[in-house]
Structure 1
């Protein structure tokens, strides 16, 4: 899981219908983080994005950037990641940031991005694009075995593509669309080399 943090003044967790979740009675529930207080009017010349990001709930205005969190005891939340990057595999939501944090604990991994790639059976499959530390190797089965102590089975990557450098922009921001292309190409290349008579 991601970091556990206190919910600051003016911040709330919303359900899928944009209703504020009570922090005491909804421990364990997942929702979207929203911040009240001094909220911008909207995005310049982008009314659709403004309407999706800046909403009114119970007469108060909130900014909802798309971050998901699970409610914990003591007015705290576990940060799960952005909903826009969420992988839906077999009806289960997987937040890439959570899987990335677990993978980065492996000694061989220097950097990693996790994405969803198309899967006939599950809709999407969790795929990792990893940059390894110098002199290290890593196979998918080894990574999955390592992750079992940290993640539920449905969150384990079904594909691992090793790259020289994980795609990030000049400021270090993750480039998820590029990582997805790399993961899909890596998965297709590995699938093409599998002898169907041995599967």
Structure 2
């Protein structure tokens, strides 16, 4: 159920970001609250996660913006590995740099045992993000 603030001119604001291509097809890119703004660039968490998740050692990942004095937010990834697998954090950063470009690459990667997930198995980025912003005077959505 939406609040009055989510409605404008009779339209419901879903919080999804997307675009319409030349043929009229609609593509959803990410949720507005999951966009990381780093040094004036928009980085879509889902795009970085999809790239990290292509690595054969990776089971799942969560990409969030964490506080950064110079850039506002820095791209950070928390990664769960497949059983018995190992990977160097720098290898994952290099993978993203190669495929998406340097500004989208995580500045830090943390290998974790598990990520918070919903009842249907969707990663709860907000819970990952909140740990880094708890003692900050400013916040992101």
TM-score class normalised by the smaller sequence: 0.7 to 0.9
- Correspondence for 1:51: 4
Q: 2:97 aligns with which of 144, 148, 165?
A: 148
What secondary structure, in the 3-state scheme, does the structure 1 residue paired with 2:18 have?
strand
Structure 1 runs not aligned, ≥5 long: 1-42, 44-48, 185-199
| Residues matched between the structures, number | 133
| CA-to-aligned-CA distance 1:61-118 (integer Å, 9 cap, x gap) | 3222100013322112332110112111001111111111111111111011110000
Establish whether residue 72 from structure 1 lines up as the match of residue 21 from structure 2.
yes
Instruction: Assess, with a 3 A threshold, how the Cα gap between structure 1 residues 77 and 132 changes in structure 2: closer, same or farther.
Output: same
Structure 2 runs not aligned, ≥5 long: 133-141
CA distance in structure 2 between the aligned counterparts of 1:99 and 1:71, rounded to whole angstroms:
21
- Correspondence for 2:77: 128
Q: Which is higher, the Rg of structure 1 or of structure 2?
A: 1
Q: CA RMSD in A?
A: 1.9
Displacement of 1:161 in angstroms is: 0.8
CA distance in structure 1 between the aligned counterparts of 2:99 and 2:21, rounded to whole angstroms:
19
Between 1 and 2, higher relative CO (CA 8 Å, sep ≥ 6) is seen in: 2
What is the TM-score normalised by the length of structure 2?
Answer: 0.83
| CA-to-aligned-CA distance 1:109-160 (integer Å, 9 cap, x gap) | 1011110000111110000011001122122221122123321221101111
What is the TM-score normalised by the length of structure 1?
Answer: 0.61
Establish whether residue 83 from structure 1 lines up as the match of residue 24 from structure 2.
no
